[in-house]
Chains A and B, each alone.
Chain A
């Protein structure tokens, strides 16, 4: 058996699975230290269905922590963006187009330096170590703790990013008291397209400290329960990554929440084409499931207002969730949220903050906490808030669909009690069994992948053979990562020629994915 856990901003959901059968499912408040919430969730699972630590073959965890940190612009490390490319690229410095509040939340500083490569590997200008040292000293002096380094054409040659990283680390180490610095390199994060790759790298850098805390919390929680099985985290595309990978590349996990909720909604509702509305504690995420897979964004993806070139589920997030603050005057909900503090701050839990959950309890849609503490709320006001939520969610679903044709709506997530049984424009909202822990179920069915990214010299007459060989490598890598061989499929393929190099040099990226084989 295996355990799927979804750590949201408000709730921690957990399921105990045997194959695709849900043996037990529980929901708990997320705790500030993450660990306690997970420990309690696992204890509750054990109470529902007894198991020993040795019986658990794998723990899969999905978390919206990273995306929430970005959307709420909180818990982000003071970050510097260092770009190598002068005199080119000066017209559009790093962080162009970023929302100002996010720039401030990062205490972001940007630096342009000489370096970078031309398309054919010639340097644009040589690296200037003195210039880099001066930049690094300035970063340290301004309290920067994480640095994103991008260099022009680093996907073709990343030597200068590596060299600049060494200089920055060295300068931080010799600064007053030897400051720690985390360095994220753009060639490890993104592909060709300087601004988008650089943006993703800056996001990754800003999340590095949070990633360390979260991974430590997750691991100690599982070990404290006597579970020695491998721990995996869900990535944006639904495949799993190991804990060490997350510490360095948190950005790869940060959209796993929607992927898991959609895959969970598919499994629990039996519908393969539908709109999925996942109401969590802080946000409502809306996506489309087409033929069982999340519809992916085409081209650029804006994350918290920042342009990147990830491939990820096309999800619209609005600031409505169970923990959302409710304005007593306007009856508007969100985007502010009490988040994981719901069970202490909401009225029904003895707190003093009016939240969307209090409204649901007052309306008799949920039986949580102490209903008498919301009995004073005017029923007309309660109805106005609920109508407004239904209206805004319907509008958002309407924005996501691309034709006026009817589409079934599946509501999942603990906060979906905020939604009526009938949605304006769409009619009945399907609420599958285990709807409240659909994300955890989605995490538990996550798969493992193998990715190959290499430059191959393709002879024109042997293109098919060359590609087939690389695809086979990716399939074997997925199997080595723990995939059941007969379940492995190539899910992503990208072929980009590198111009002006002899032998039709081509950069090939292949991703193969299969079901995790348990108990190996």
Chain B
């Protein structure tokens, strides 16, 4: 069943999308303001990918997104015309109009960009995405893993620039070229890519991640208002989803944040120490959090979610928001089976990030789930 999204939902969606961003994906605040500006008091139809009446097999879906460095996104705001221009450019190139748009990434700012397009064009948005979280590269998509190519890709800039890139089946080369263009555009570009049928969406997308982001954001807010633990509320909200296991990884204070930017990625590491002397947690990130080690022991690894949250309010903290002295709680959250197959792990598992450690589900590495521990 389709449902309607209004401007009132945006703060909760933004909070949930930040959590699914696992430290990266960019702050959705600006994205939500863009949607709000265009949407006003209107609403956007959100389609359930599991419902053939909502999304027929032959429906034509063009996902839309923003690519680039998070630091740039919060500084150089868009002109506003770019996301729809990217979609229109790809439509023109393909000679076909889209029936719906969709996120390629449900974590961070890219949860919002399709809604900017939808608010402007009246197109519906499919409640699904191709990452099930946030990843640093456009090729790290379940779409790609299960056979939908990213090409052709349309890229638009704030001066009205339009670029179409077609690399056939080679998604890595597509990412490489698109990122180069993005850097020339000033670090941020808006894109339309991975055009596909409704049937392909059902086969390759991580379903219902937008409604999940909305429910997670809402659960945290309602728990705070009711003075209940937002962490327990999160665990309850995740239980019926495809992300059902929540593991409490650490509770402590940030004692060091190291950052460096290489090849367009914000890499770095954060060290978290307990308040009383004891073991230390180290989280390494490349835009998103990749691994969590406690005293050298691996606790959680990509693609499972490693989320750094404010110790009290459970507000998710992005890697650029990490500061010395913050009190934080770190959660590990399991990902759907679709994201843990050998093909999927080859595309966005540890090896894709140059890590030598092998993937093991977070719920198997560590005993004691959050619900059990309270």
Report whether A492 and B76 are in contact in the complex, using a CB–CB cutoff of 8 Å.
Answer: no
Report whether B76 and A152 are in contact in the complex, using a CB–CB cutoff of 8 Å.
Answer: yes
Q: Contact partner of B261 among A92, A152, A299, A497, CB < 8 A?
A: A497
The answer for the CA separation of A300 and B34 in the assembled complex, in Å, is: 18
CB distance from B131 to the nearest CB of A (A): 23
Name the segment of A117-125, A219-227, A442-450, A480-488 touching the other chain: A117-125
- A86's nearest neighbour on chain B, judged by CB, is B79
Name the segment of B211-219, B321-329, B330-338, B339-347 touching the other chain: B321-329
Name the segment of A28-36, A41-49, A192-200, A207-215 touching the other chain: A192-200
Report whether B79 and A119 are in contact in the complex, using a CB–CB cutoff of 8 Å.
Answer: no
What are 27 A-B residue pairs whose CB atoms fall within 8 Å in the complex? A85-B76, A88-B76, A88-B77, A88-B186, A90-B79, A90-B80, A90-B158, A91-B80, A119-B71, A119-B75, A120-B187, A194-B75, A195-B30, A298-B313, A298-B317, A298-B326, A300-B29, A402-B312, A463-B258, A495-B257, A496-B259, A498-B261, A499-B69, A499-B261, A499-B264, A500-B264, A506-B260
Taking beta carbons and an 8 Å cutoff, which residues of A are in contact with B?
85, 87-92, 96-97, 116, 118-120, 122, 124, 152-153, 192-195, 298-300, 311, 398, 402-404, 460, 463, 492-500, 504, 506
B177 near A: Cβ within 8 Å?
A: no
Report whether A97 and B33 are in contact in the complex, using a CB–CB cutoff of 8 Å.
Answer: yes
Given contacts A195-B30, A497-B260, contact A118 B326 (CB under 8 A): no
B1 near A: Cβ within 8 Å?
A: no
Q: What residues of B have a CB within 8 angstroms of the CB of A90 in the complex?
A: 78-80, 158
The answer for the CA separation of A340 and B260 in the assembled complex, in Å, is: 52
The answer for the CA separation of A402 and B224 in the assembled complex, in Å, is: 8
CB distance from A219 to the nearest CB of B (A): 35
Q: What residues of A have a CB within 8 angstroms of the CB of B80 in the complex?
A: 90-92
Given contacts A91-B80, A499-B264, contact A194 B74 (CB under 8 A): yes
Given contacts A91-B34, A298-B317, A463-B258, contact A122 B74 (CB under 8 A): no
Q: What residues of A have a CB within 8 angstroms of the CB of B37 in the complex?
A: 91-92, 96
Q: What residues of A have a CB within 8 angstroms of the CB of B158 in the complex?
A: 87-88, 90
Other 18 A-B pairs with CB < 8 A, given A87-B159, A119-B186, A152-B77: A85-B77, A89-B78, A90-B78, A90-B79, A90-B80, A91-B78, A120-B187, A152-B75, A153-B76, A193-B74, A195-B74, A300-B29, A402-B312, A463-B258, A497-B259, A499-B264, A500-B264, A506-B260
Given contacts A88-B77, A90-B79, A91-B78, contact A497 B33 (CB under 8 A): no
Q: What residues of A have a CB within 8 angstroms of the CB of B81 in the complex?
A: 91
Report whether A193 and B75 are in contact in the complex, using a CB–CB cutoff of 8 Å.
Answer: yes
The answer for the CA separation of A493 and B255 in the assembled complex, in Å, is: 10
- B312's nearest neighbour on chain A, judged by CB, is A402
- B316's nearest neighbour on chain A, judged by CB, is A299
Report whether B76 and A299 are in contact in the complex, using a CB–CB cutoff of 8 Å.
Answer: no
B251-296 residues with Cβ-Cβ distance < 8 A to A are: 257-261, 264, 266
Given contacts A92-B30, A298-B326, contact A119 B187 (CB under 8 A): yes
Report whether A495 and B259 are in contact in the complex, using a CB–CB cutoff of 8 Å.
Answer: yes
The answer for the CA separation of A116 and B187 in the assembled complex, in Å, is: 14
- B74's nearest neighbour on chain A, judged by CB, is A193
B side interface size, CB within 8 A:
39
B72 near A: Cβ within 8 Å?
A: yes
Q: What residues of B have a CB within 8 angstroms of the CB of A153 in the complex?
A: 75-76
B310 near A: Cβ within 8 Å?
A: yes
- B34's nearest neighbour on chain A, judged by CB, is A91
Given contacts A299-B321, A497-B261, A500-B183, contact A88 B72 (CB under 8 A): no
B315 near A: Cβ within 8 Å?
A: yes
The answer for the CA separation of A28 and B323 in the assembled complex, in Å, is: 41
B14-53 residues with Cβ-Cβ distance < 8 A to A are: 29-30, 33-34, 37
B227 near A: Cβ within 8 Å?
A: yes
Q: What residues of B have a CB within 8 angstroms of the CB of A494 in the complex?
A: 323-324
Report whether B33 and A92 are in contact in the complex, using a CB–CB cutoff of 8 Å.
Answer: yes
The answer for the CA separation of A126 and B128 in the assembled complex, in Å, is: 42
Name the 9 nearest CB pairs between A and B, nearest first: A91-B80, A402-B312, A499-B261, A118-B186, A89-B77, A497-B261, A88-B158, A90-B79, A119-B187
Q: What residues of B have a CB within 8 angstroms of the CB of A195 in the complex?
A: 30, 74, 77
The answer for the CA separation of A434 and B84 in the assembled complex, in Å, is: 63
Q: What residues of B have a CB within 8 angstroms of the CB of A92 in the complex?
A: 30, 33-34, 37, 77, 80
Q: What residues of A have a CB within 8 angstroms of the CB of B323 in the complex?
A: 311, 494
The answer for the CA separation of A403 and B314 in the assembled complex, in Å, is: 12
Q: Contact partner of A298 among B74, B264, B315, CB < 8 A?
A: B315
Q: What residues of B have a CB within 8 angstroms of the CB of A85 in the complex?
A: 76-77
- B33's nearest neighbour on chain A, judged by CB, is A92
Given contacts A88-B158, A493-B324, contact A118 B187 (CB under 8 A): yes
Choose among A89, A398, A404, A460 the residue with the greatest number of B CB atoms under 10 Å from its CB.
Answer: A89
CB distance from A109 to the nearest CB of B (A): 19
Report whether B79 and A499 are in contact in the complex, using a CB–CB cutoff of 8 Å.
Answer: no
Q: What residues of B have a CB within 8 angstroms of the CB of A499 in the complex?
A: 69, 71-72, 187, 261, 264, 266
CB distance from A486 to the nearest CB of B (A): 22
Q: What residues of B have a CB within 8 angstroms of the CB of A120 in the complex?
A: 187
Report whether B77 and A192 are in contact in the complex, using a CB–CB cutoff of 8 Å.
Answer: no
Q: What residues of B have a CB within 8 angstroms of the CB of A116 in the complex?
A: 76
- A458's nearest neighbour on chain B, judged by CB, is B260
Q: Contact partner of A299 among B183, B266, B315, CB < 8 A?
A: B315
Report whether B159 and A495 are in contact in the complex, using a CB–CB cutoff of 8 Å.
Answer: no
Q: What residues of A have a CB within 8 angstroms of the CB of B324 in the complex?
A: 492-494
Q: What residues of A have a CB within 8 angstroms of the CB of B74 in the complex?
A: 192-195
Q: Contact partner of B72 among A119, A492, A504, CB < 8 A?
A: A119
CB distance from B28 to the nearest CB of A (A): 13
Report whether B76 and A194 are in contact in the complex, using a CB–CB cutoff of 8 Å.
Answer: yes
Q: What residues of B have a CB within 8 angstroms of the CB of A91 in the complex?
A: 34, 37, 77-81
Given contacts A118-B186, A495-B257, A500-B261, contact A88 B321 (CB under 8 A): no
Report whether A118 and B76 are in contact in the complex, using a CB–CB cutoff of 8 Å.
Answer: yes
Q: What residues of B have a CB within 8 angstroms of the CB of A402 in the complex?
A: 312-313
Q: What residues of B have a CB within 8 angstroms of the CB of A89 in the complex?
A: 76-79
